[in-house]
Structure 1
Amino acid sequence: MPNREIHNVLHFVPLFDPKAAVTDNTAQVSAIIDLAGYNAAEIVLQTGTLTDADATFAVTVAESDAANMSGSNAVAASQLVGTLAQASFDFNTDSKARKIGYIGTKRYIQVTVTPANNTGNLFLSGVAVLGYPATGPTANPPQA
């Protein structure tokens, strides 16, 4: 039987904390995620009820070696697992999860979700799932 235990090899860092609905086209910028000590990162976004009839929400990922994201650049498609289009969503994506993996070499990443045509409610939360730790087991509860 395969080993089904992943508890000790995953670490979770909040990207977007749950909050009141966003009702305009303001870009939602995540926390900066420090990948030090981990060899894998998966970005997971979750939507709530989206109440606009034509809104779209584009996802981008930036990378940097600086803790404040100075000198950041957009992550090349070759450094992502999945596509930005697959991670993005629209008004029909109520209560769904989207994911995209990062396999680049920079220490820090940050996610931006940019609404277009949003006059309704955007409920968004997210978490970065870090894996393949250099040392383990990972802390429980997770420490940022």
Structure 2
Amino acid sequence: MRDLMNNITPKVVIAPPAAAATDNTAQVGSIVDVAGYDSLTFIIATGTLADADATFAVLVEEGAASNLSDAAAVDDKDLIGTEALAGFTFAADGAARKIGYKGGKRYVRLTVTPSGNTGNAPLSAIALLGHPRSAPTANPPA
């Protein structure tokens, strides 16, 4: 009953940086294939954010093409939480944010875009796939 581990698959979508971003370049996550799972939550983790006025906007996109050539912003009704609540400012050192997807498309992607950033901005993100149609899930994750 209390087993979450065998019912999730984590995927790194924005890897922890070797060197933190020091400009406004969007951090575009890997495309997540949700086939075989009934839920997806993105978890964003920050390090020490050096810029004193930077903001970080979150965008979730979906599509039917595996390369997301048909990417479109996810409608708010297909998100659990909001992109605004998943976003953050320079004050979110060592913080975590989350946003869920409940839409019907097979492929989903997360992007975090800084603005006003001139300092180090280390961040990473994990896609947490849940409610697998076949459990237990593999460990280590495939």
| TM-score of the superposed pair, with normalisation by structure 1 | 0.96
Spell out structure 1 runs of 4+ moving beyond 6 A: none
What is the identity percentage for the equivalent residue pairs of Structure 1 and Structure 2? 52
Question: 1:7 matched to which residue of 2?
Answer: 5
Which secondary structure does the structure 1 equivalent of 2:130 belong to? strand
1:55 counterpart = 2:54: yes
**CA-atom RMSD in angstroms:** 0.6
Q: CA deviation at 1:60?
A: 0.3
Please give the per-residue CA displacement for 1:16-71, whole angstroms capped at 9, x wherever unaligned. 11111000000110000010100000000000000000000000000011110011
1:16 counterpart = 2:14: yes
Unaligned runs of 5+ in 2: none
In structure 2, distance between residues paired with 1:55 and 1:138: 38
Q: CA deviation at 1:4?
A: 1.1
| TM-score of the superposed pair, with normalisation by structure 2 | 0.98
In structure 2, distance between residues paired with 1:18 and 1:133: 26
Question: 1:110 matched to which residue of 2?
Answer: 109
Q: CA deviation at 1:7?
A: 1.2
Q: CA deviation at 1:124?
A: 0.6
